[in-house]
Chains A and B, each alone.
Chain A
């Protein structure tokens, strides 16, 4: 026996107490700062991170741009309160519902607080001034006698049915509100509540819910929006860790009991799994990492791997004990046989997961590293705690233990399981060509399946279809333009601004035709060659003209200089690209085009505001719903718009310098494929229809961020997988000191992974985040069985020297260990199907499928391949030492 297991067998108490102490210390290190953050501020508390943005590192350009744009356009994360009334014939536009909506909005405006006693602390909560609700937005409308009125859409709760219906009518006239604030069918309206940061959403939403609970109207309220989904996600994540994972544990436990029939013995793999999970998760928290959608899956990944080796030991021990009848000697035998396969399965599994550290997604890196740490713990505790545990059990507990223990004389190979596996072995050896052909065919079909894979994800769909988040999502997407926001930023390129401004200045001054303008034009001609920047050029001219203006005595002189200064100002304003009618018309066409894609329910952009105000300046005439013809007319329309309660809203669509503008797209679906289709469509549209001025376009918003991280994830995973495949192949070659055995060991996992991903492609399951991560798990698990089978086959062959006889032995205890593993862990993970979040279900199904496939590929494929290639594989047996 090796040093560690034998030391553990000698001093079992030391190892068992050591493991207990290790767990307790880690638990204490996590619990202390989590429950008493002040007293233990020097320690890292448990931090939950449910923000999908964190799939990208903080300095990722896509994310930096996203945050810059959010800041520049003053956009905040939103809680959306959807109000639906199906019962009232006027929908939500009845006095009661609107009264409640008014009250709820007033209430929402007051939700803000400061943390702690400090007066200077920044206010947290709702950004009242940016709430979008009927009582907080302006309506522009005709007010008789040709006058135009700017007033609140719903200044007070309506008192009559007519007043209530008028709110709907007014809102529907305003394109930026229609299908955003009110639904086309009048059954629903949405209140958009901006919050200071995502982490306040839980508290804000709870206060809103409490307020809503006091209403007794017949409207339904859906509180949703990305921050809410994230909070819910955090809650479900803990449910998963607290319920699904232990349930999986319990089922594994029950299955082991069914196989080994010794309750006190099978507690040991459970202890190994617990200590390994506590070790990995404890270290994760203690080192300041967050519990994220990825890292919350660590226990689920570590658990089967931890149990796996323990099942090998127990299975072997169970089979050997009846013939050896001494636990120490049995242990010696078992550990000698399993030492190397277990070491190498651990190394390969760690390699598979560590390769994730090279993906560009921080949470995936953390996940990979800590699963690898967990796997290492699992190995260490398996080879120490299991022997230690066996040694502390009283010898009499083993009486009557083990396979075929009831009848000493009977070969313990006579149980139904043993007979079945021998049958499998005979079949694999006898029909080797058929089996290999079958696997090759499966690989071909899988290869086709892989080409059919659709890469797609949608964090909202991580919830079940009947989860309140999904219900709200559907209720609102059915009625509004769409609840998934994507933002298209348009930025005017800085061209050769100086020469175009200089040309423009000269043209405008010459057009004035006054001697004063001519004099200034002459200065402009002289300055254009030497000016450092357009700004310097203009301000030098302006200074000159203003000096003349101040000095002017005669009115005529003063007017002439005034006109010249004006011309300079006008020239500088020609750089304000998003005031130019042709630019606005271009955006208008792009918006119209987007709505033909069927993916974009609605878009809001600067042209909508210009057109609406223009229409209402001209008596609400629909013909006037257009972009006016000059930049001055646009500017005057916009200054009119700004005479409102919310002048700042303009700068959510354009920057004050009119050099950047943003289109708000409301998408019906948050699927990455749909967002990607919109991106491709916009690229094509802009390529086919060049904008009137040099404009570059970029995306931001969470729907886009999801696409960005998914792209990184897919390519990163592919690289990580290729890398770890090669690493494992090298490790196998070293382990078996033979390239051909190394290659042979890769066969089951190649088939497993190929078929798994082929099936994903064939059944149309989206390749999403959990599916991507599973490739590393398949690699880690499928290679394990191959290592165990090959190592022990070679071990047997060394003694027997004849393949058919070796195969018979291999389909004894080694095959049974693999089979038990497949059943225990494969079935053990089915409780994940009950998990509240879809990614965990995916993981549950696929772990089971991976184990089953890997088992089949190992037990059928390997003996078949060995049968076919035995001349190559056993060529050097005489000169080689056993592994």
Chain B
């Protein structure tokens, strides 16, 4: 009788511990997502992108990225506006993203030379972002609710979280691992694993600075072993809470870029 009670107690304890642990992980990944994509109410940065292929041939893209969090809710709805400046032949090309945490994002593309605003049908977001090694989802952020997370390891500086997709058919990875900086919750490294458990794609935060009180990744890279090569993004003129008006994140502004905000 006694032993039965003990067993039950042990089981209850174990259950509560694991629940507590699970909550912990959820909290960690939510904070990490917020640190990576939701700093401040809005933000802007100039980005220099260098795409190097397996033969070290370099292509560059320069763009301005504007972001606004709707209602300043972390991991909530967001608007992105990506305005290309260079190379010259894609100057004024623009993307507009309305990110919905629990639905497909709305995406628009503006191609000035074709005088065309095109809506991109909701589909896979794990496709290349303008030919780089980054995916769309890497730029706008993957919703933490799409994966199951396990805290695999805790070091002095990092939480190491293993995330497995809830719907494996949507993604090319079988899992990924995030090294999340304990103090800032900035993910400094992400490794994606294939079905054999081999890492094939690696994100690295190469530089973090505190800007306007927000820890900010100012340089990052994405390498993909399957195709070879690496893309580096360097952020400059980063600013937060500049009071970006919400109406610039509309289709109308694709054709008439808000030059002042983009300067």
Q: Mark A148-160, 1 if CB is under 8 A from B, else 0.
A: 1111100110000
Chain B residues whose CB sits within 8 angstroms of the CB of A559 once the complex forms: 259
Chain A residues whose CB sits within 8 angstroms of the CB of B121 once the complex forms: 143-144, 147-149, 151
Residues of A in contact (CB 8 Å), total 54
Query: How far, in angstroms, from A147 to B128 measured CA to CA in the complex?
Result: 18
* CB of B183 closer than 8 Å to a CB of A: no
Instruction: Report which of B57, B112, B123, B226 forms a contact with A657, defined as CB distance below 8 A.
Output: B57
Q: Mark B87-121, 1 if CB is under 8 A from A, else 0.
A: 11111010000000000000001011110101111
List 28 contacting pairs A-B, 8 Å CB cutoff, sorted by A.
Answer: A72-B55, A74-B55, A129-B226, A129-B227, A143-B121, A143-B123, A146-B119, A148-B119, A149-B120, A151-B123, A151-B124, A152-B124, A555-B263, A566-B85, A573-B87, A573-B88, A618-B116, A632-B90, A633-B111, A635-B89, A635-B113, A636-B113, A637-B111, A637-B114, A639-B130, A643-B130, A644-B128, A655-B57
Known: A74-B54, A555-B260; 17 extra A-B contacts, CB below 8 A, are A144-B121, A146-B119, A147-B118, A147-B121, A156-B169, A559-B259, A573-B87, A573-B89, A628-B114, A635-B113, A636-B112, A643-B127, A643-B131, A645-B124, A645-B128, A647-B128, A648-B227
Nearest neighbor of A655 in chain B, beta-carbon distance: B57
Chain B residues whose CB sits within 8 angstroms of the CB of A3 once the complex forms: none
Query: How far, in angstroms, from A644 to B259 measured CA to CA in the complex?
Result: 29
* CB of A640 closer than 8 Å to a CB of B: yes
Query: How far, in angstroms, from A74 to B58 measured CA to CA in the complex?
Result: 15
Nearest CB in chain B: distance from A355 CB, A: 43
Chain B residues whose CB sits within 8 angstroms of the CB of A651 once the complex forms: 53
Q: Are B55 and A648 in contact, with the CB atoms below 8 A?
A: no
* CB of A767 closer than 8 Å to a CB of B: no
Q: Are B116 and A630 in contact, with the CB atoms below 8 A?
A: no
Instruction: Report which of A110, A145, A617, A656 forms a contact with B53, defined as CB distance below 8 A.
Output: A656
Chain A residues whose CB sits within 8 angstroms of the CB of B226 once the complex forms: 128-129
Query: How far, in angstroms, from A456 to B226 measured CA to CA in the complex?
Result: 40
Q: Are B114 and A643 in contact, with the CB atoms below 8 A?
A: no
Query: How far, in angstroms, from A129 to B113 measured CA to CA in the complex?
Result: 32
Q: Are A636 and B59 in contact, with the CB atoms below 8 A?
A: no
Nearest neighbor of B106 in chain A, beta-carbon distance: A147
Nearest neighbor of A651 in chain B, beta-carbon distance: B53
* CB of A71 closer than 8 Å to a CB of B: yes
Nearest neighbor of A628 in chain B, beta-carbon distance: B114
Q: Within residues 639 to 667 of chain A, which ones have a CB less than 8 A from any CB in chain B?
A: 639-640, 642-645, 647-648, 650-651, 655-657
Q: Within residues 77 to 93 of chain B, which ones have a CB less than 8 A from any CB in chain A?
A: 85-91, 93
Chain A residues whose CB sits within 8 angstroms of the CB of B86 once the complex forms: 566, 569
Question: Given A74-B54, A559-B259, A651-B53, A150 and B89 touching (CB < 8 A)?
Answer: no
Q: Within residues 207 to 263 of chain B, which ones have a CB less than 8 A from any CB in chain A?
A: 226-227, 259-260, 263
Q: Are B87 and A110 in contact, with the CB atoms below 8 A?
A: no
Nearest CB in chain B: distance from A511 CB, A: 14
* CB of A570 closer than 8 Å to a CB of B: yes
Q: Within residues 668 to 700 of chain A, which ones have a CB less than 8 A from any CB in chain B?
A: none
Nearest neighbor of A71 in chain B, beta-carbon distance: B55
Chain A residues whose CB sits within 8 angstroms of the CB of B132 once the complex forms: 647
Query: How far, in angstroms, from A165 to B44 measured CA to CA in the complex?
Result: 46
Q: Mark A558-594, 1 if CB is under 8 A from B, else 0.
A: 1100000011011011000001000000000000000
* CB of B156 closer than 8 Å to a CB of A: no
Q: Are B88 and A633 in contact, with the CB atoms below 8 A?
A: no
* CB of A855 closer than 8 Å to a CB of B: no
Chain A residues whose CB sits within 8 angstroms of the CB of B85 once the complex forms: 566
* CB of A459 closer than 8 Å to a CB of B: no
* CB of A269 closer than 8 Å to a CB of B: no
* CB of B21 closer than 8 Å to a CB of A: no
Query: How far, in angstroms, from A699 to B9 measured CA to CA in the complex?
Result: 78
* CB of B153 closer than 8 Å to a CB of A: no
Query: How far, in angstroms, from A617 to B109 measured CA to CA in the complex?
Result: 10
Nearest neighbor of B89 in chain A, beta-carbon distance: A635
Q: Are B90 and A643 in contact, with the CB atoms below 8 A?
A: no
Chain B residues whose CB sits within 8 angstroms of the CB of A642 once the complex forms: 128, 130-131
Q: Mark A598-615, 1 if CB is under 8 A from B, else 0.
A: 000000000000000010
* Nearest 9 interchain pairs by C-beta: A642-B131, A143-B121, A149-B121, A632-B113, A635-B89, A569-B88, A147-B119, A633-B113, A570-B88
Query: How far, in angstroms, from A798 to B85 measured CA to CA in the complex?
Result: 100
